[in-house]
Amino acid sequence: MPLSCPSCRQPMTAETYPGHYGRTVQIDLCPRCDVLWFDKLENLALAPGSVLGLLERMAEAAGQERVRLADRLLCPRCDAPLRLGHRMTKDTRYEVAECPAGHGHLISFYNFLKEKGCVRPLRGEKLKALRAMTNSVPCSNCGAPVDLHRTTTCAHCGSPLALLDPDALRETLAGLRATAERRAAPVPEQVAADMILARLEAERAMRPDPGEMRRVSSSWGRHGLLETSLIALVKRLLR
C-alpha cells in the first residue's frame, strides 16, 4: 500500500533505485508537493547513479502544477507531526522535517538540491542585480512571492533567498556521472578477486572425500593456510 504524502495526504509514488553493494532502495515521492520521503538512512544508501536519476526525476516533475506545503506535516509511517530540523553540507544549510520516532524525514526538492550543493544563498552583487530586474520572485522552497526590496527571507516558510547555481549543478551532475560510470566498470581488483574465487571453488570441488583426508601430506595443510589467507584478501578487496 502506498504511503500517504505528509503534506497533501494523497498516495505517494514509490520508485526503486540501485543502492550500494548491490542492494535496492525504494524512495517515496510526491510530485504535486515536490517532496521526497526517506525512511531511516535511505538517503545514505543511494548509489551515485541513483542520486543523479532522482535529481532528473524530480526536475521533470517540477514542471507540473504544484501545491503549497501544509503547515502541519505528518509522518507517513506513524502519523506523528514532523519536526523541522536543519542540517549542513559543506557551507550550505538545508531543512528537513523529521519524524520524532525516527521513521525517517521529508525533504523538498529545493532542499534536496541544497543538500547536493546545487543551490547557493542569494546575496551581495547577485542580489543587487536581481533587485534591479524585478521587485519580487517566487520562493524556491514554497513558491510564495518574496518582496526583494523589503526582505531576503520568505514570509511564508522562512527560507532565505537562494538561486540554482548552474556551475555547481553542472559540477555535481558531472561528479555523479563519473562516479556511477567508474563503479559500473570492472576494476582490476574486482577482476583479480573474481579469478581467485573461481580458482578456490575449482580446488574445493577437487578435494578428496573426508575418508581420504587422513592420508594427505602435510603440504595440504600448508595449502589450506594459504587458501585462508587468499579468502581474507578477497574479502578485503570486495569491501
Residues 29 and 76 both lie in one domain: yes
Residues 5 and 74 both lie in one domain: yes
Residues 41 and 106 both lie in one domain: yes
Residues 2 and 56 both lie in one domain: yes
Q: What is the pLDDT of residues 118-148, one digit of tens each?
A: 777 777 787 888 788 888 887 766 777 888 8
Residue among 145, 97, 93, 157 nearest 120 (CA): 93
Residues 55 and 78 both lie in one domain: yes
Residues 155 and 177 both lie in one domain: no
Residue among 138, 100, 144 nearest 122 (CA): 138
Residues 160 and 104 both lie in one domain: no
Q: What is the 3-state secondary structure (H, E, C) of the chain?
A: CCCECCCCCCECEEEEEEEHHHCEEEEEEECCCCEEEEECCHHHHECHHHHHHHHHHHHHHCCCCCCCCCCCCECCCCCCECEEEEEEECCEEEEEEECCCCCEEEEEHHHHHHHCCCEEECCHHHHHHHHHHCCEEECCCCCCEEECCCCCECCCCCCECEEECHHHHHHHHHHHHHHHHHHHCCCHHHHHHHHHHHHHHHHHHCCCCHHHHHHCCHHHHHHHHHHHHHHHHHHHHHC
Using CA atoms, how far apart are residues 76 and 10, in angstroms rounded to an integer? 11
Lowest mean pLDDT among 6-20, 31-45, 152-166, 218-232: 218-232
**Tally of structural domains, the chain:** 3
Mean pLDDT score, 217-226: 40
Q: Which residue did the predictor score with more confidence, 79 or 131?
A: 79
What pTM, to 2 d.p., does this model score? 0.64
Q: What is the pLDDT of residues 37-49, one digit of tens each?
A: 999 889 889 888 8
Residues 93 and 67 both lie in one domain: yes
Using CA atoms, how far apart are residues 138 and 237, in angstroms rounded to an integer? 50
Using CA atoms, how far apart are residues 188 and 201, in angstroms rounded to an integer? 20
Residues 76 and 137 both lie in one domain: no
Domain span at residue 197? Answer: 186-238
Are the C-beta atoms of 140 and 162 separated by less than 8 Å?
yes
Q: What is the pLDDT of residue 124?
A: 79
Residues 174 and 208 both lie in one domain: no
Residues 30 and 127 both lie in one domain: no
Q: What is the pLDDT of residue 206?
A: 54
Q: What is the mean pLDDT of the chain?
A: 76
Q: What is the pLDDT confidence band of residue 234, given thresholds at 50, 70 and 90?
A: very low
Residues 3 and 112 both lie in one domain: yes
